[in-house]
Amino acid sequence: MSADTASATPPAPAKTVAGGGLRERKKERTRRTIRTEAFRLFREQGYTETTVEQIAAAADISPSTFFRYFPSKEQVALADDLDPMMIAAFEAQPAGLSVLAAFRQATIETFAAMSQEERDFEKQRVEILYSVPELRGAVAMELERSVGLIADLVAKRTGRDAHEFEVRVFAGALSGAMIGFVDQAGSFGSEQILRVMEFLEAGMPL
């Protein structure tokens, strides 16, 4: 783990969709506690050295309860709470916007709705994903998931099939560009994401 990650301030989990009944709110609080305590332990003693049992104890739950929320320690770091927010914002964009412009505006709206603590949490999550060797393989799997998710969104917006050549290439280009930039720059935020989209929209001039 990098020194920057290890010394970061304690993160606050990114918010999920609000509302729901008492049971749902209690489950969401437990999920947030698990992630908060897991990231604290990752900072203090390293990702590899942290066990599920330690995370469960810190969150005051049993290991079996931990596994009801996350199938593995890896998934605690991989879980992307921005997905539901980004999807909702993207689907709400006016039909007249191009697909890339809709993604750009959805990004602006999503980050505007986040608190500074939530942005800090997501930044730290990305830093951990790209600094812990044990998670590198999982990042590759996340790329595949991201391509599928974007392809589905694009297909729904354009009325095309998610498996069409152009749709898949667009999804792959956007996903790969994001991961490639974050991997090299080690940073995460709306400005960086918008810069990637603007470069793609300009035709990637070199």
Asked if the 3-73 domain carries CATH number 2.40.110.10, the reply is: no
Residue 119 one-letter amino acid: R
Distance CA 92, CA 90 (A): 5
Asked if the 77-201 domain carries CATH number 3.30.70.1530, the reply is: no
Give 23-33 pLDDT, tens digit per residue: 888 999 999 99
Q: Rounded to 10 degrees, what is the CA torsion of 193, 198, 204, 206?
A: -90
CA 116-117-119 angle, 5° bins: 65
Nearest to 175 by CA among 145, 147, 138, 200: 147
Q: Enumerate residues 6+ apart whose C-beta is below 8 A from 191.
A: none
Give 37-55 pLDDT, tens digit per residue: 999 999 899 999 999 999 9
Residue range(s) of every CATH 1.10.357.10 domain in the chain: 3-73, 77-201
Q: What is the full per-residue pLDDT of the chain (206 aa) written as tens digits?
A: 333 333 333 444 444 444 568 888 899 999 999 999 999 999 899 999 999 999 999 999 999 999 999 999 999 998 888 899 999 999 999 999 999 999 999 999 999 999 888 888 888 888 888 888 888 878 888 888 899 999 999 999 999 999 999 999 999 999 988 887 776 545 567 788 888 889 998 888 98
- The DSSP symbol for 79 reads -
- 11, 116 Cβ separation under 8 angstroms: no
Full-model pTM = 0.77
Q: What is the DSSP string of 26-42?
A: HHHHHHHHHHHHHHHHH
